[in-house]
Amino acid sequence: AQSVTQPDIHITVSEGASLELRCNYSYGATPYLFWYVQSPGQGLQLLLKYFSGDTLVQGIKGFEAEFKRSQSSFNLRKPSVHWSDAAEYFCAVVPYNTDKLIFGTGTRLQVFP
């Protein structure tokens, strides 16, 4: 079945530590790929997106993501996490035959000082 999977429901890291949030998709053709962040009481904000080309994508707030076709993955990374990064992160896809966003279940990031 077509799906977007974020296997980690909740991740806790110390401030200054590196971060990797996992995302896998299951679609026949490579969809467009996105990462959004949702802070408490806020709407979703786009961090970065991938359509084609260079598989390492830079986004806002120091985030980057790497597309790996062989693993059907689009993991989000940040080398050094700040307390303000605590939020919920959603991976999303736009399948090849549609223009609507399909979201994963989200990963809640907690940052300890």
Partner 1 sequence: DSGVTQTPKHLITATGQRVTLRCSPRSGDLSVYWYQQSLDQGLQFLIQYYNGEERAKGNILERFSAQQFPDLHSELNLSSLELGDSALYFCASSVRGERGETQYFGPGTRLLVL
Residues of this chain that bind partner 1 (CB under 8 A): 32, 36, 41-46, 49, 51, 90, 94, 98-106
Nearer to partner 1, 27 or 103 (CB): 103
Nearer to partner 1, 44 or 86 (CB): 44
Report which residue type is found at 24.
N
- Minimum CB separation from partner 1 for residue 52, in Å? 10
Could you tell me which residues come within 8 angstroms of residue 42 by beta carbon, excluding any fewer than 6 positions away?
none
Q: How far apart are CA 21 and CA 7, in angstroms?
A: 9
- Minimum CB separation from partner 1 for residue 45, in Å? 7
Nearer to partner 1, 19 or 94 (CB): 94
- 64 in helix, strand or coil? strand
Give the β-pairing of 10-14 and 107-112: parallel
